[in-house]
Structure 1
Amino acid sequence: MKMYLIISIVLATILGYLLLMMGPLVGGVLAFGIVVGCLIRGLYLLNKISKKLETPKSDKVKAAYEDYLKEKENFNQG
């Protein structure tokens, strides 16, 4: 786990250095695009996770039990 962090830090440092070499205008625009793109993607994923946690999963056992009770009730009536 720590190795991924070290690799990402090194790659980000290299990317930052390359962006600075391109000049402030081009490098700044590219850096801004990368940061904003990552933030938007992160917000999208957080929204997706939030929606997935909110929707309750259908309880198959409860549904089967309710069906059984309905069948039993219909059988007793008829």
Structure 2
Amino acid sequence: MYLLISIIICTLIGFLLIMMSPLIGGVIAFGLVLGCLVRGLYLLNLIYNQVVPQKDKVQSAYDDYLEEREKSS
């Protein structure tokens, strides 16, 4: 349902941009495309941070301990 509404709204915006002068329509279209790209990158970053597990503090402390132990030996 949201896809259909999005398609209809984008079609109406496209018709409005065609009816405007090329400079104003181009600036608005550029802003819309750039805004969508930036939002997409932001969402990809959020997904990446949730999917990729962050390094555990306990595991990193244990790794540091093992490194120090190997250096002192």
TM range (shorter): 0.5 to 0.7
Q: Which has the larger radius of gyration?
A: 1
| Structure 1 residue 55, shift from structure 2 partner | 2.1
CA deviations over 1:19-72 (Å, ceiling 9, x no partner): 11111110011001101111111011101110111125x7xxxxxxxxxxxxxx
Matched AA of 2:27? V
Structure 2 matches for 1:1-78, cutoff 5 A?
A: 3-56=1-54
Identity %: 58
- 1:55 match: secondary structure: coil
Give the C-alpha shift of residue 8 in structure 1: 1.0
TM-score normalized by structure 2? 0.66
Distance across 2 between alignment mates of 1:52 and 1:9: 30
Q: What code does the residue aligned with 1:16 have?
A: G
> Matches of 1:7 and 1:41 in 2, distance apart?
19
Amino acid aligned to 1:29: V
Paired amino acid for 2:46: K
Q: What amino acid is the match of 2:6?
A: S
Unaligned runs of 5+ in 1: 59-78
**Structure 1 stretches of at least 4 aligned residues deviating more than 6 Å after TM superposition:** none
In 2, the alpha carbon distance for the partners of 1:15 and 1:53 equals 35
Gapped regions of structure 2 (runs ≥ 5): 57-73
Q: How many residues align?
A: 56
